[in-house]
């Protein structure tokens, strides 16, 4: 089984775990209303995380196809741009965290550590590359890029699952209110 197949098999398990966790915690969801600002920020985080994951995956392909350190540096700069954008979104999420529902608050609490980890990992890869321009393709560097891509994909999957779950719960809450109103 190749690495891509293995990763794809693990991804649904991560999504199922997060969705299951939130289903069991959904009783707390109804006590505070969603924040439109947090919903928009989570949507922005979702889009940025998807782009980050795609570029992080592309850095892995460089190991097989390109030994030129400049190409690696450019690709890592692109990944770093996405990570920096995620950090800006994460900061906004953190500031607005308490203004939304408990579900939104939990989503923010799960996103922040992953964004910090990705930022540190990407910076370390860039530092390594800057120090090893003559020979950028070590086994350690390749493994580092692989793990960073895995983290980016996990962040993307988690945010996507949280965002979709939040939208579903919001719709369910609206439908519940309509049902209750029609019974009266």
The set of residues, in sequence order, having a beta carbon less than 8 Å from that of 109 and lying 6+ positions away, is 97
Asked whether residue 136 is assigned to any structural domain, the reply reads yes
**Torsion 92-86-104-35 (CA) sign:** positive
Q: Which domain holds residue 155?
A: 43-164
Instruction: Provide the 3-class DSSP secondary structure of residue 67.
Output: coil
Asked whether residue 142 is assigned to any structural domain, the reply reads yes
List the single range of 10-24, 39-53, 112-126, 155-169 with lowest mean pLDDT.
10-24
Residue 7 above 90 pLDDT? no
Asked whether residue 64 is assigned to any structural domain, the reply reads yes
Q: Name the token pair of 35.
A: 């924040």
- Residue 50: what pLDDT? 92
The residue among 95, 88, 86 whose CA lies nearest residue 121 is: 86
Asked whether residue 102 is assigned to any structural domain, the reply reads yes
Helices assigned H by DSSP within 25-138: 36-65, 69-96, 102-131
Distance CA 71, CA 62 (A): 8
Q: What angle do CA 161, 166, 171 make, to 5 degrees?
A: 130
Asked whether residue 169 is assigned to any structural domain, the reply reads no
* Residue 143, domain CATH: 1.20.120
Distance CA 78, CA 92 (A): 22
pTM of the model: 0.72
Query: Helices 102-131 & 139-183, crossing angle to 10 degrees?
Result: 170
Asked whether residue 20 is assigned to any structural domain, the reply reads no
Asked whether residue 1 is assigned to any structural domain, the reply reads no
pLDDT bracket for residue 78 (50, 70, 90): very high
Per-residue pLDDT tens for 108-145? Answer: 888 888 888 889 888 988 888 888 876 667 788 888 88
Residue 94 above 90 pLDDT? no
Q: Are 49 and 153 in contact (CB under 8 A)?
A: no
For the chain, the C-alpha Rg in angstroms (whole number) is 19
Which of 26-30, 44-48, 110-114, 176-180 is modeled with the greatest confidence?
44-48
Mean pLDDT of 52-61: 89
Q: How many domains does the chain have?
A: 1
Query: Helices 69-96 & 36-65, crossing angle to 10 degrees?
Result: 160
Asked whether residue 84 is assigned to any structural domain, the reply reads yes
Whole-number average pLDDT of the chain: 79
* Residue-level length of the chain: 184
């Amino acid at each position: 089984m190749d690495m891509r197949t293995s990763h794809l098999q693990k991804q649904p398990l991560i999504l199922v775990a997060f969705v299951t966790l939130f289903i069991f915690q959904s009783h707390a969801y109804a006590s505070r209303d969603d924040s439109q600002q947090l919903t928009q920020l989570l949507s922005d985080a979702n889009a940025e995380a998807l782009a980050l994951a795609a570029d992080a995956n592309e850095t892995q392909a460089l190991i097989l196809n390109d030994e030129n350190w400049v190409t690696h540096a450019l690709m890592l700069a692109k990944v770093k741009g996405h990570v920096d954008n995620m950090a800006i979104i994460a900061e906004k999420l953190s500031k607005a965290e308490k203004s939304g529902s408990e579900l939104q608050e939990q989503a923010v609490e799960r996103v922040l550590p992953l964004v910090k980890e990705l930022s540190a990992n990407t910076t370390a890869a860039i530092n390594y590359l800057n120090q090893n321009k003559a020979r950028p393709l070590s086994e350690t560097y390749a493994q580092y890029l692989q793990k960073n891509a895995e983290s980016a994909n996990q962040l993307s999957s988690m945010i996507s699952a949280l965002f979709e779950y939040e939208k579903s719960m919001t719709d369910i809450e609206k439908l519940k209110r309509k049902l209750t109103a029609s019974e009266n």
